[in-house]
């Protein structure tokens, strides 16, 4: 009979509510209620009078909603009916206010595959991820264990799998959770004696994405509970996506049985993108921002010097865009150098006069010995001037006197004259300016 079903369902809900509610409250506000009818997805609960509705809805709506979710599913509703024997007029019939949205995957929807620039550093990981998204849980890549240093795209890639799965299977339950959050939820559940609810919740997921699992290190209880969840999901053909900053082998204070699970499927690494890949990532980001007026040498300079990770590349790009749109500065090599220096922690080593000489000679095709000689040949004089110009503009530690005498045994007035000549040429001769920029790029990327 319907009524029995209703009574049983409501009792099951109350059992869950009881665990997170003090005895007094439970006895006063919940015990006197009962499930009396079940119609479609609506459960009618009888309450002695309206104050029960007021109390429950204002104090326990969340707990109750969770209980309903667990017992009857997300689209279930609750209706209150005031018991006949009280002097009721019309029954209060209200759906539970705190109706939760559908299962929330906690994904950042902008982390998609299409936003990831493919290259040598991430190609294997990216293609495995795409394969998984086509048939989650059904490939050999279960779990997929994505590891690599900070800012290399682990979180983005892991979430892209989730987002892609949801576009293909909108009803599947995909959940993204950073391991710290998982651990905290578990600690809370444990403290409130809700360990089983916690486990039930996670065992109902179709694709579970746990980010930065290295934080499970030393957390015994969480490891234990994750071990069970992992086994349950894996056995039931559900997909697991894990990320970490290191390989399973290099993890510390994580039980062997959990580590061995991490290695069951596919372990893939995200590397630091090489120069060419960084260049494409930069170009793509600029294109997306609709910025097409940054000179190529500036982009190349950034790609060359910001060789740590993608997050820093993005930081530099954003900062440049800020300068060009807000401060309205032209994006020049100088500006790029300034911005990059704010991002690269290890400061660029100070240029030495020797290094400047050697780069200038190499780029301009001049014998170093001739640069230091008294030769008046045109290309040698020019190279000498260029070396002095860079020594003056790119270093701070040398006096004009030192520059002059070290580069070619000349005095400070020669240095001043050289700098003027080169500046003039840069302003008037496009081709010359390009050559100068090329040398500058070499010097600055050292
Ligand atoms: P991690 O989790 O490894 O620290 P994230 O996933 O947070 O790194 O990535 C850092 C930033 O770099 C994010 O904004 C991400 O969108 C971006 N990113 C990473 N890899 C790429 C790539 N191949 N192409 C474009 N953007 C990327
Ligand atoms: Mg991350």
pLDDT tens track for 365-402: 999 999 988 899 999 999 999 999 999 998 888 899 99
Identify whether residues 118 and 79 lie together within a single domain.
Answer: no
The torsion angles phi and psi of 106, rounded to 5 degrees, stand at 60, 30
User: In 12-34, which positions are buried (b, 16+ CB within 10 angstroms) versus exposed (e)?
Assistant: bbbebbbbbbeeebbeebbeebb
Residues within 6 Å of ligand 1 by CB: 116-117, 122, 148, 150-156, 281, 310-311, 314
At residue 193's C-alpha, the angle toward residues 191 and 196, to 5°, is 120
Identify whether residues 130 and 235 lie together within a single domain.
Answer: yes
Tell whether 107 is covered by a domain. Answer: no
- Between CA 216 and CA 261 the distance in angstroms is 14
CATH code: domain of residue 91: 3.30.300.180
Identify whether residues 83 and 136 lie together within a single domain.
Answer: no
Identify whether residues 239 and 379 lie together within a single domain.
Answer: no
pLDDT of residue 403: 93
Q: What's the chain's average pLDDT?
A: 89
Q: Which domain holds residue 303?
A: 275-343
- Between CA 295 and CA 317 the distance in angstroms is 13
Identify whether residues 313 and 366 lie together within a single domain.
Answer: no
Residue with more model confidence, 315 or 123: 123
- Between CA 37 and CA 57 the distance in angstroms is 20
Q: What is the DSSP pairing of strand 144-148 with strand 266-270?
A: parallel
Identify whether residues 326 and 244 lie together within a single domain.
Answer: no
CATH code: domain of residue 425: 1.10.1750.10
- Between CA 87 and CA 89 the distance in angstroms is 7
Identify whether residues 408 and 336 lie together within a single domain.
Answer: no
Contact assessment for residue 212 and residue 147, using Cβ atoms and an 8 Å cutoff: no
pLDDT of residue 85: 62
Identify whether residues 375 and 322 lie together within a single domain.
Answer: no
Does residue 329 carry a pLDDT above 80? no
Q: How far is the CA of 311 from the centre of ligand 1 (A)?
A: 6
Identify whether residues 79 and 186 lie together within a single domain.
Answer: no
Cα dihedral 44/46/52/54 (nearest 10)? 30
Q: How far is the CA of 158 from the centre of ligand 2 (A)?
A: 9
Which residue has a Cα nearest atom 5 of ligand 1? 153
Q: Which atom of ligand 1 is nearest to the CA of 310?
A: 12
Q: How far is the CA of 116 from the centre of ligand 1 (A)?
A: 8
Give the pLDDT band of residue 237 (cuts 50, 70, 90). very high
Tell whether 108 is covered by a domain. Answer: no
Counted domains in the chain = 4
Mutate to test the pocket of ligand 1, among 289, 310, 312 (most ligand atoms within 8 A of CB): 310
Q: How far is the CA of 217 from the centre of ligand 1 (A)?
A: 24
The least confident of 53-67, 87-101, 197-211, 266-280 is 87-101
Last residue of a domain, one of 343, 362, 393: 343
Cβ–Cβ contacts within 10 Å for residue 176, how many?
A: 23
Identify whether residues 337 and 372 lie together within a single domain.
Answer: no
* DSSP letter, residue 78: E
Does residue 336 carry a pLDDT above 60? yes
Last residue of a domain, one of 343, 367, 398: 343
Tell whether 137 is covered by a domain. Answer: yes
Tell whether 106 is covered by a domain. Answer: no
Residue with more model confidence, 438 or 165: 165
pLDDT of residue 132: 97
Give the pLDDT band of residue 408 (cuts 50, 70, 90). confident
Identify whether residues 330 and 428 lie together within a single domain.
Answer: no
Tell whether 105 is covered by a domain. Answer: no
Candidates 2, 22, 90; CA nearest to 50 is 90
Identify whether residues 211 and 357 lie together within a single domain.
Answer: no
Q: Which ligand is nearest to the CA of 158?
A: 1
DSSP reduced 3-state for 245: coil
- Between CA 162 and CA 188 the distance in angstroms is 26
Tell whether 348 is covered by a domain. Answer: no
Contact assessment for residue 310 and residue 153, using Cβ atoms and an 8 Å cutoff: yes
CATH code: domain of residue 290: 1.10.8
Name the token pair of 98. 């705190």
């Amino acid at each position: 009979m319907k009524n029995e079903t209703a009574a049983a369902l409501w009792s099951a809900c109350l059992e869950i509510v009881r665990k997170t509610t003090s005895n007094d409250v439970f006895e006063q506000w919940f015990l006197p209620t009962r499930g009396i009818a079940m119609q479609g997805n609506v459960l009618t609960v009888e309450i002695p009078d309206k104050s029960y509705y007021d109390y429950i809805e204002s104090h326990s709506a969340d707990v109750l909603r969770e209980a309903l979710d667990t017992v009857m599913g997300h689209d279930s509703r609750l209706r209150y009916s005031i018991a006949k024997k009280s002097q009721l007029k019309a029954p209060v019939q209200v759906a539970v206010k705190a109706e939760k949205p559908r299962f929330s995957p906690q994904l950042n929807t902008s982390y998609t595959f299409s936003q990831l620039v493919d290259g040598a550093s991430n190609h294997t990981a990216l293609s495995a991820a795409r394969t998984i998204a086509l048939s989650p849980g059904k490939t050999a890549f279960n779990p997929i264990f994505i590891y690599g240093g900070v800012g290399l795209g682990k979180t983005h890639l892991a979430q892209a799998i989730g987002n892609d799965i949801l576009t293909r299977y909108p009803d599947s339950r995909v959940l993204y959770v950073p391991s710290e959050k998982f651990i905290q939820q578990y600690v809370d559940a444990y403290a409130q004696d809700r360990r089983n609810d916690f486990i039930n919740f996670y065992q109902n997921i179709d694709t579970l994405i746990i980010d930065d699992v290295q934080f499970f290190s030393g957390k015994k209880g969480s490891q234990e509970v994750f071990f069970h969840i992992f086994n349950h999901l894996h056995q039931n053909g559900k997909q697991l996506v894990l990320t970490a900053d290191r390989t399973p082998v290099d993890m510390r204070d994580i039980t062997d049985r959990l580590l061995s699970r991490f290695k069951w499927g596919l372990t893939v690494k995200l590397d630091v993108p090489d120069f060419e890949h960084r260049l494409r990532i930069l170009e793509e980001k600029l294109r997306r921002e609709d910025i097409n007026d940054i000179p190529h040498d500036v982009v190349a300079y950034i790609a060359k010097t910001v060789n740590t990770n993608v997050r820093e590349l993005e930081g530099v790009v954003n900062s440049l865009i800020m300068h060009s749109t807000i401060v309205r500065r032209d994006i020049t090599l100088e500006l790029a150098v300034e911005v990059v220096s704010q991002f690269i922690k290890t400061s660029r080593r100070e240029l030495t006069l020797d290094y400047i000489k050697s780069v200038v000679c190499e780029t301009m095709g001049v014998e170093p010995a001739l640069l230091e000689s008294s030769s008046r040949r045109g290309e040698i004089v020019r190279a000498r001037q260029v070396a002095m110009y860079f020594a003056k503009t790119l270093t701070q530690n040398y006096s004009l006197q030192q520059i002059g005498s070290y580069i070619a045994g000349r005095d400070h007035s020669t240095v001043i004259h050289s700098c003027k000549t080169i500046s003039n040429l840069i302003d008037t001769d496009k081709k010359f300016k390009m050559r100068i920029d090329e040398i500058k790029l070499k010097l600055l990327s050292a």
